[in-house]
């Protein structure tokens, strides 16, 4: 006589169904640390959430070109595994710059879309695929409904989604202040490069603003741009300065 398994209580079945709908999985809670304590300490669980949507834009005039923002994103996805889907509407991506940030050309699949609507459709489809390391999309407008769909798709698949907010006119940048469902929102501005003791151009520097972090804190950082492994660094003058707790304290004799 075979024994039939006892049915699960209704409450457990309901909880499992809700978890599936919300995309709650181990991948949803995974994070990608920057490897810089000052940045990671401001983010929930100590890193950039995978299985989530994040927004990045350039500061000042770079809001129209997003050169630094693109390198920032390249450095992030360079530290993920698998292919990277990069969706754009203009053929202005400079592949050697992405390679300089650690993202090699062999990992990138480029998709050129005709409009923001097409970008968002490809973005969502790429996130739902689940077989990609990350999906990056250049888009100007990101309505709340569209961002919510992207966030749910990222949660369900565990893929990392990066929306590079790029505009054609300076007046369009006001749209960046509108609410979206993204987990974090960043702005990358270009600073003078690191000075060298000899003639030449030193490592690029960025003024990095964490404008929004769900369950985290907003913050600003001065960092050195991504190296060929996709990693940021603090300028040596900042990394070697004394901790805030020690500033102003009198040194006592033994």
CB 134 within 8 A of CB 84: yes
Rounded Cα–Cα distance for residues 4 and 9 (Å)? 15
Give the pLDDT score at 103. 96
Q: How many CB atoms lie within 10 A of CB 13?
A: 11
Burial class of residue 40 (count of CB atoms within 10 Å of its CB; 0-12, 13-18, 19+):
middle
Which residues have CB under 8 Å from 239's CB, separation 6+?
233
Give the pLDDT score at 200. 61
Residue-averaged pLDDT of the chain: 84
Examine the pLDDT at 154 and tell me if it is beyond 50: yes
* Overall pTM > 0.75: yes
Examine the pLDDT at 247 and tell me if it is beyond 60: no
Give the pLDDT score at 65. 83
185-216 pLDDT tens trace? 999 999 988 777 776 667 899 999 999 999 88
Residue range 228-253: average pLDDT? 59
Rounded Cα–Cα distance for residues 116 and 125 (Å)? 14
95-136 pLDDT tens trace? 899 999 999 999 999 999 999 999 999 999 999 998 999 999
Question: What residue has token string 């990045």?
Answer: 56
Which residues have CB under 8 Å from 226's CB, separation 6+?
71, 72, 74, 75, 78, 100, 101, 102, 232
Residue of higher predicted confidence among 7 and 121: 121
- Choose among 90, 170, 174, 85: nearest CA to 121: 85
Rounded Cα–Cα distance for residues 33 and 27 (Å)? 14
11-50 pLDDT tens trace? 666 665 655 554 444 455 699 999 999 999 999 999 999 9
Give the pLDDT score at 117. 95
Give the pLDDT score at 7. 52
- How many helices (H) and strands (E) are present in the chain, helices listed first? 8, 10
CB 51 within 8 A of CB 161: no
- Choose among 212, 208, 201: nearest CA to 226: 208
């Amino acid at each position: 006589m075979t024994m039939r398994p006892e049915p699960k209580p209704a409450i457990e079945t309901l909880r499992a169904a809700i978890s599936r709908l919300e995309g709650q999985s181990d991948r949803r809670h995974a994070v990608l640390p920057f490897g810089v304590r000052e940045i990671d300490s401001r983010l929930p669980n100590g890193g950039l959430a995978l299985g989530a949507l994040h927004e990045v834009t350039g500061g000042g005039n770079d809001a129209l070109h997003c050169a630094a923002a693109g390198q920032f994103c390249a450095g992030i996805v360079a530290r993920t595994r698998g292919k990277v889907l990069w969706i754009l509407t203009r053929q202005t991506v400079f592949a050697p710059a992405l390679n300089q940030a650690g993202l090699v050309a062999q990992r990138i699949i480029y998709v050129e879309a005709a409009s923001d609507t097409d970008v968002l459709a490809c973005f969502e489809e790429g996130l739902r695929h689940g077989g990609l390391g990350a999906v990056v999309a250049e888009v100007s407008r990101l309505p709340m409904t569209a961002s919510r769909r992207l966030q749910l798709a990222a949660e369900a698949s565990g893929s990392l989604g990066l929306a590079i907010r790029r505009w054609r006119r300076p007046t369009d940048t006001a749209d960046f202040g509108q609410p979206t469902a993204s987990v974090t929102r960043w702005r990358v501005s270009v600073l003078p490069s690191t000075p060298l003791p000899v003639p030449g151009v030193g490592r690029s520097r960025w003024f990095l603003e964490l404008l929004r972090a769900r369950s985290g804190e907003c913050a600003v950082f001065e960092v050195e741009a991504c190296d060929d492994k996709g990693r940021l660094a603090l300028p040596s003058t900042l990394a070697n300065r004394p901790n805030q707790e020690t500033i102003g304290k009198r040194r006592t004799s033994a």
